């Protein structure tokens, strides 16, 4: 599988990880700021809906462990970032519909 295909597979896999408070997956919430895969090594940029969120470590570890379980990924590194800060505008159309957020 190419790196690009692995990135797509990884993105789909991360839809299993949810933000516990909003109860929606981190991908559609727009909390994944970037995914790069090089030779099976994944690097994921992740944010939280609010800085200092008490669930931050758990979400980071959840994303890391989910990514590492994807076939073809040999190692996964998750980097937390809050720049730029997350806003509801980052949600997918599906998530916006779920929450009633105006597009």
Partner 1 sequence: MAAGAAYPTGSLLAPVTLAAVHLLTIGWLTLLVFGALHQFVPVIAARSQATGWPALLSLLVIVVGLAGMEAGFLALADLLAPRAIPLLPAGGTLVLAGAALAAAPIARTLWSARPLAFSARFASLGLVFLLATLGLGLTFALALAFSETIQWAAMPTDGLRLHVLSGLLGWFTLTAMGVSYRLLSMFTLAPEERGALGSAVLWLSAGGLAAAWLLGAMEASGLAVPAALSTLAYVALALGGALYLFDMGRMLRARRRPKLELNAAGAIVALAAFSLCLLGAVLATITGRLQEMAGPLGYLFVFGWLSGLGLSQLYKIVPFITWLERYGALLGKQPVPRVQDLVDERRDRPWFVLYFVAVGAGTLCAALGSTLEWRIAIGGHLLATLMIARALWLARSGKPRLVQPRPTAIGGSRSLPTTGS
Residues near partner 1, by CB under 8 A: 8-9, 12-13, 15-18, 20-21, 23-25, 28, 49-55, 57-59, 61-66, 69-71, 88, 95, 98-102
Contact indicator for 76, 68 with CB cutoff of 8 Å:
yes
Q: Closer to partner 1 at the Cβ: 41 or 60?
A: 60
Strand 24-25 to strand 75-80: parallel, antiparallel, or no bridges (unpaired)?
Answer: unpaired
CB of 15 to partner 1, least distance (A): 6
CB of 34 to partner 1, least distance (A): 18
Q: Closer to partner 1 at the Cβ: 13 or 33?
A: 13
CA atoms of 2 and 55, how far apart (whole Å)? 33
Q: Closer to partner 1 at the Cβ: 17 or 35?
A: 17
Strand 75-80 to strand 41-46: parallel, antiparallel, or no bridges (unpaired)?
Answer: parallel
Q: Name the 3-class secondary structure at 80.
A: strand
């Amino acid at each position: 599988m190419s790196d690009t295909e692995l990135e797509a597979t990884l993105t789909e896999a991360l839809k299993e990880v949810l933000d516990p408070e909003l109860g929606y997956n981190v991908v559609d919430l727009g909390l994944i700021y970037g995914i790069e895969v090089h030779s099976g090594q994944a690097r994921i940029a992740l944010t939280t809906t609010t800085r200092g969120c008490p669930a931050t470590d758990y979400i980071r570890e959840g994303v890391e462990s989910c990514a590492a379980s994807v076939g073809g990924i040999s190692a996964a590194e998750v980097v937390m970032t809050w720049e730029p800060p997350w806003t509801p505008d980052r949600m997918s159309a599906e998530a916006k519909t779920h929450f009633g957020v105006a597009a």
